[in-house]
Chains A and B, each alone.
Chain A
């Protein structure tokens, strides 16, 4: 079978995944605030109501706990619900259905009832939106057994991981970043899955491993280009799934380079970067590691003012500085 590919934006790649899955499987539904409105969810939901009707594409009141719980309950009862949180800050209202119920249900009921639900949360930061409209909470979800957490960095992976998440028999947290929505890339027209739990090397290098996810992969690639000018060959590892981590891929890269800079769009303390560093530290790589650094958000709420935002969010230069062993001025 030939696979036709063409350029598609990240947001339309998600839209295509939803169209194709809803077309093939009548049990797939989309529920959440703003699925009728481009103001909330961009063009990720475009055309879905027209094609599948308001029975299966449900715009909801502002009731994150009950709406997320309903998606969980529907999935226990034979549906495959995708529940969208256009700003993941509001997902905190839904911690009970996500963690107490969905993540535990299969285990605490002895494997009797699977919960094939997708919790889709959008990181939506910058633009002076301040502390409650900016948070990247993937580490919190990654902490709970029973949940899988994916963070696609490219349009190709956005489509493939959304399809994989919908097909998975377990609850999957799908986290994307609004800053990626206009990114274009090659996306096959056919439906396909990107395997959950598998990362990918985006750029080969021998001197240092830059390990990143989601939007940070692009910044790491930019950093690698800058570093090349100084004669440093950086390898860029895109985690794609943050729970479970692709431990083999991380270790293989660091074994090759002997150095790691782990980049994360979440906070530093108890974050994803800390987990990746721990994985590297507690495994015997058979060689010495010259340095491990974290580039993550400082333990500070997101500020509003542009003058403060500039020093808060991470860009390629922060990654270059970490590789060059300069102290992190933000911490």
Chain B
């Protein structure tokens, strides 16, 4: 019980931190203070938190365009992330990457990129490196339902299975590929079945139930460490904001084309609220204690934004730094 409580509270705190950070970015995006494209992950926190908590610091993760949650859940600093979104020199990528390029190799966050499916084979390679060195590390590739349209996913699933690589393919199925609903990009909604013809263990979980995600991820990571990988995990979830920015689906303002009833249905499935009900029901914490977690998260988000605002932009004369490593 004690361990279950610790797990639940840790996951709750992580999701609260991700949520507070994401929501705090909305005003500076709308005011134009943040200019780089920002893909908010509000609503999808359970996937990042549940999977990353099943990992060790040395394990590798690779993200995509919507990776704030992945970076924070793996242990990346919020100050460095928000400073990167503000494109400052103190950002995790020194202002050269922006929101879509979050990195911290010291905690295994190996990078993120908006080329859909582009980082899947990179995670494959990190898993290959782990297998060659026999160092027990696991690699995780986070990608969305849109990435299932890219051929490189199938190439990677095949090679991972062929070489029994320690890799966890995590598809965050939020039902939308930018503006297109899933039924307009594929015949079957059952994305997890993609792993089956390659002989992979493939499962679908409720991506808004963080305990379920975490349990499935722990089992998958354990299999990978025993040389019984790879594993494919589809997490069914939903983003509460537009594809990019707070309410845009593509460009412009208030152009979200998703049915309001659908959005409302998913609002009731909010992953944080879901865990909150569980915690209160099991008396793992009091409402006051949970409020304290949210207050702390909001304070941290505010502190991170202050840090970003007080940081300098990269110097113009440093434009050509980092093209090559000397």
Q: Which residues of A contact B (CB under 8 A)?
A: 29, 55-56, 58, 60-61, 63, 65-79, 81, 96-97, 100-101, 105-114, 145-146, 148, 169-170
Chain A residue contacts of B104, Cβ below 8 A:
112
A291 to chain B, nearest CB (A): 34
B110/A76 in contact, CB under 8 A: yes
Contacts known (A97-B122, A110-B93); A77 close to B325, Cβ less than 8 A = no
**A and B contact pairs by CB, cutoff 8 A, 16 listed:** A29-B132, A56-B132, A63-B152, A63-B155, A65-B155, A66-B121, A66-B155, A66-B156, A68-B121, A69-B120, A73-B128, A76-B126, A106-B322, A108-B101, A110-B95, A111-B94
Cα distance A58–B322 when bound, in Å? 31
A110/B91 in contact, CB under 8 A: yes
Of the candidates B60, B93, B152, B158, the one whose C-beta lies within 8 Å of that of A109 is B93
User: A55-B131, A101-B119 given. 20 additional CB < 8 A pairs?
Assistant: A58-B163, A66-B155, A66-B159, A68-B121, A69-B118, A69-B120, A69-B125, A70-B124, A73-B125, A73-B126, A73-B139, A77-B110, A77-B129, A78-B129, A97-B118, A108-B93, A108-B101, A109-B101, A111-B322, A146-B323
A111/B325 in contact, CB under 8 A: yes
A interface footprint on B308-326 (CB within 8 Å = 1, 0 otherwise): 0000000000000111111
A110/B121 in contact, CB under 8 A: no
Chain B residue contacts of A58, Cβ below 8 A:
163
Contacts known (A111-B322, A146-B324, A169-B325); A70 close to B115, Cβ less than 8 A = no
B129/A114 in contact, CB under 8 A: no
Chain A CB within 10 Å — which of B60, B115, B132, B139 has the most?
B132
A interface footprint on B145-182 (CB within 8 Å = 1, 0 otherwise): 00000011001101100110000000000000000000
Determine if B142 is an interface residue (Cβ-Cβ < 8 Å): no
B97/A73 in contact, CB under 8 A: no
Cβ-closest chain A residue relative to B60: A77
Cβ-closest chain B residue relative to A112: B103
A21 to chain B, nearest CB (A): 15
Determine if B242 is an interface residue (Cβ-Cβ < 8 Å): no
Chain B residue contacts of A110, Cβ below 8 A:
91-97, 103, 322
Cβ-closest chain B residue relative to A66: B155
Q: Which residues of B contact A (CB under 8 A)?
A: 60, 62, 91-97, 101, 103-105, 110-111, 113, 115, 118-133, 139, 151-152, 155-156, 158-159, 162-163, 321-326
Cβ-closest chain A residue relative to B314: A110
Q: Across chains A and B, which 10 residue pairs bring their CB atoms closest together, nearest first? A: A73-B125, A69-B121, A110-B94, A66-B155, A73-B122, A63-B155, A70-B125, A74-B125, A110-B93, A77-B126
Cα distance A55–B322 when bound, in Å? 32
Cα distance A69–B326 when bound, in Å? 23
A60/B97 in contact, CB under 8 A: no
Cα distance A77–B125 when bound, in Å? 8
A177 to chain B, nearest CB (A): 26
Chain A residue contacts of B159, Cβ below 8 A:
60-61, 63, 66-67, 70
Cβ-closest chain A residue relative to B84: A110
Cα distance A60–B92 when bound, in Å? 35
Cα distance A78–B130 when bound, in Å? 9
Of the candidates A56, A81, A106, A113, the one whose C-beta lies within 8 Å of that of B125 is A81
Cα distance A237–B39 when bound, in Å? 51
Chain A residue contacts of B113, Cβ below 8 A:
100-101
A113/B158 in contact, CB under 8 A: no
Cα distance A61–B124 when bound, in Å? 14
Chain A residue contacts of B125, Cβ below 8 A:
69-77, 79, 81
B159 to chain A, nearest CB (A): 6
Cα distance A105–B62 when bound, in Å? 13
Contacts known (A107-B96, A110-B97); A66 close to B124, Cβ less than 8 A = yes
B121/A112 in contact, CB under 8 A: no
Chain A residue contacts of B95, Cβ below 8 A:
110
Cβ-closest chain A residue relative to B98: A108
Chain B residue contacts of A170, Cβ below 8 A:
324-325
Cβ-closest chain B residue relative to A67: B159
A69/B126 in contact, CB under 8 A: no
A63/B158 in contact, CB under 8 A: yes
Cα distance A191–B159 when bound, in Å? 33
Chain B CB within 10 Å — which of A81, A101, A169 has the most?
A101
Chain A CB within 10 Å — which of B111, B115, B125 has the most?
B125
Cα distance A74–B124 when bound, in Å? 8
Contacts known (A74-B128, A101-B113); A106 close to B97, Cβ less than 8 A = no
Chain B residue contacts of A111, Cβ below 8 A:
94, 321-322, 325
Contacts known (A61-B158, A101-B122); A73 close to B62, Cβ less than 8 A = yes
B100 to chain A, nearest CB (A): 9
B123/A100 in contact, CB under 8 A: no
Contacts known (A63-B159, A65-B151, A101-B115); A76 close to B122, Cβ less than 8 A = yes
Cα distance A55–B133 when bound, in Å? 9
A109/B121 in contact, CB under 8 A: no
Chain A residue contacts of B129, Cβ below 8 A:
73-74, 77-79
A96 to chain B, nearest CB (A): 6
A72/B122 in contact, CB under 8 A: yes
Of the candidates B97, B122, B323, the one whose C-beta lies within 8 Å of that of A145 is B323
A1 to chain B, nearest CB (A): 27
Chain B residue contacts of A77, Cβ below 8 A:
60, 110, 125-126, 129-130, 139
B96/A65 in contact, CB under 8 A: no
Chain A residue contacts of B123, Cβ below 8 A:
73
Chain A residue contacts of B92, Cβ below 8 A:
110, 112
A170 to chain B, nearest CB (A): 5
